[in-house]
Structure 1
């Protein structure tokens, strides 16, 4: 993202989808200047316009800069959610639920909570549902490798791991037995769809909605449809994490996002009345909960402290960057609205309405 003001040139990075950018260097000499910004991220593709420096290190972006996938109504809903007095206690509940241990023996946090591996699983479910319910091509390994676009060998190796864990089964295409189709097993759908379902559950609590919409997503086909529609959106507009640089950075590390959730939960526990108790942040507890090594957890905590994001001591949180909390909450509000809209559409459809193949 480049700045061209005529008087000064600086490099900018977008801090969050909150339509605020943080300047990479001291901009005090150019406050009040109107800048020309060209945003290159896929979620901002082809958008440019004027921004005005309004404070030290911050640029307020006009409406034109908002992601192409998010309109004015969407942003209005984000701030409506965040401004609700119960929002933070509901976020505390999300943090507690998101890092609850699963009943699956395999270390699913380590297997699935890194962006590359998550994306393979995510798109595998997309291909399976596209084929069975939406007239898509047979969901073969070759189809998946072409969609992922990264190393075909790494994709094949991870799919083999998913097969070994019985997260994926293989069946012949009934129209052409030579084609081996990858079928997402219910446990994989449950793990990949878990975050989306939890965001819908958060909206259930925020709206005091009965019956709860998240309950309907317990059915694997509906949850798989939620993943499919989310993936279809990603294929059109780019990853939903892209406007949130620190969340994106953590999702690119093994268990980085679950660690952030655990730490955010500790922040809420310390600052929000009646919030659920936090998971202890000791290396042993976090390693056991996330099923990774203590050394890996220690490395993540050291990197976060060095970046000024958060700091722990023993079992407790001693510092959490307020701007990271803001980014996390904006990310969560976007996810809540995005997944809730998808879930509402899915649950409003007649059972079997989309079915094409058994």
Structure 2
């Protein structure tokens, strides 16, 4: 593990209670194990008919889905306008046509249910399905679950959230609302941001970090980071994996050998990922406590 300190990108927020708690988690003797549990939870997905890695594992589409969940919950709680396509197009990043095409694709797959507003039949409400909620909650749930290696389990646990559509939606909505006010959990982490902008990029990054952690603990290299292996694992092309690795090497984030092993993992890259995951753990633990109290 790297020296116990926060990644430089969040230095301006280091005095905030969230990041003070995050630093405490990073000092825990089992933090490396918890980090590996997070990475394995993200990358150990079973294949589905739904191409979730292409639908959601890219920043813009993920944010649009996250925002729709938030708008829907705000409307349920009488704090916002009906979550229509027009409102989503005004609120979300991306062109109106891109957002409409994406939402239509989700509707075709049954991931969004559109119903007419009772007071205005011309307005269609977009309701996120439980399956959509679970897809968007994958990383938050993995962070919450891995945090249980470092802190006492909360009364609301990941398995409880997965089965409770209402609580899961409200948990995610609270996260989106905080992000809209203060972006210290994503923006300050350039490697996280850039990988998330590519299809399955964050999943690839998690696979790389997992392999680096195994190597640092003396586990034998698995050679699991080959272009072909990752392409098949995450339903993308080998050229796509090559592009991700090429850019990572160019930016000095890490380097993967032709045999699929971590040839270089600088401390600053690992520290960036460590800090980001610790922040996610504390953030989603706070929100689990908040929905419990509601």
Residue 43 of structure 2: aligned partner? 99
Residue 215 of structure 1: aligned partner? 159
TM-score by length of 2: 0.90
Residue 329 of structure 1: aligned partner? 274
Residue 229 of structure 1: aligned partner? 174
1:195-240 per-residue CA deviation (whole Å, 9 max, x = no partner) reads 1111111112212427662222112221111111111112222473
1:147-196 per-residue CA deviation (whole Å, 9 max, x = no partner) reads 11531111111111111222111111122211111111111100101111
Matched, 1:84 2:72: no
Aligned residue for 1:139, secondary structure, equals: coil
Residue 6 of structure 2: aligned partner? 18
**Residue 102 of structure 1: CA displacement?**
4.0
Q: In 2, are the aligned partners of 1:226 and 1:346 still within 8 Å (CA)?
A: yes
* Residues 21-32 of structure 1 mapped to structure 2, 5 A cutoff: none
Aligned residue for 1:285, secondary structure, equals: helix
Residue 340 of structure 1: aligned partner? 285
Residue 200 of structure 2: aligned partner? 255
Residue 27 of structure 1: aligned partner? none
Residue 150 of structure 1: aligned partner? 94
Match of 1:282 among 213, 218, 226: 226
Residue 215 of structure 2: aligned partner? 270
Residue 64 of structure 2: aligned partner? 120
Q: In 1, are the aligned partners of 2:42 and 2:139 still within 8 Å (CA)?
A: yes
How far, CA to CA, are the matches of 2:205 and 2:240 in structure 1? Answer: 14
Match of 1:166 among 101, 107, 110: 110
Q: In 1, are the aligned partners of 2:144 and 2:158 still within 8 Å (CA)?
A: yes
**Residue 78 of structure 1: CA displacement?**
1.5
How far, CA to CA, are the matches of 1:101 and 1:136 in structure 2? Answer: 35
Residue 74 of structure 1: aligned partner? 18
Q: In 2, are the aligned partners of 1:217 and 1:223 still within 8 Å (CA)?
A: yes
Q: Which runs of 4+ in 1 moved over 6 A?
A: none
Aligned residue for 2:70, secondary structure, equals: helix
Q: Which runs of 5+ in 2 are unaligned?
A: none
Aligned residue for 2:126, secondary structure, equals: strand
How far, CA to CA, are the matches of 2:38 and 2:114 in structure 1? Answer: 34
| Change beyond 3 A, Cα 1:195–1:134 | farther
Residue 318 of structure 1: aligned partner? 263
**Residue 106 of structure 1: CA displacement?**
2.1
**Residue 278 of structure 1: CA displacement?**
6.3
| Change beyond 3 A, Cα 1:19–1:310 | closer
Aligned residue for 1:138, secondary structure, equals: coil
**Residue 131 of structure 1: CA displacement?**
1.5
How far, CA to CA, are the matches of 1:145 and 1:186 in structure 2? Answer: 22
Q: Which has the higher strand share?
A: 1
How far, CA to CA, are the matches of 2:256 and 2:7 in structure 1? Answer: 30
1:319-338 per-residue CA deviation (whole Å, 9 max, x = no partner) reads 11210100000011111101
How many pairs are equivalent?
288
How far, CA to CA, are the matches of 2:21 and 2:71 in structure 1? Answer: 31
TM-score by length of 1: 0.75
**Residue 265 of structure 1: CA displacement?**
0.4
How far, CA to CA, are the matches of 1:174 and 1:279 in structure 2? Answer: 57
**Residue 135 of structure 1: CA displacement?**
3.7
Q: In 2, are the aligned partners of 1:96 and 1:278 still within 8 Å (CA)?
A: no
| Change beyond 3 A, Cα 1:173–1:102 | farther
How far, CA to CA, are the matches of 1:216 and 1:106 in structure 2? Answer: 23
Q: In 2, are the aligned partners of 1:96 and 1:265 still within 8 Å (CA)?
A: yes
1:78-110 per-residue CA deviation (whole Å, 9 max, x = no partner) reads 211101110001110110111122453122112
Match of 1:242 among 184, 187, 197: 187
Q: Aligned-residue CA RMSD in angstroms? A: 2.3
**Residue 344 of structure 1: CA displacement?**
1.6
How far, CA to CA, are the matches of 1:258 and 1:186 in structure 2? Answer: 22
Q: Which has the higher helix share?
A: 2
Q: In 2, are the aligned partners of 1:216 and 1:347 still within 8 Å (CA)?
A: no
Structure with greater contact order relative to length (CA < 8 Å, sep ≥ 6): 2
**Residue 73 of structure 1: CA displacement?**
2.4
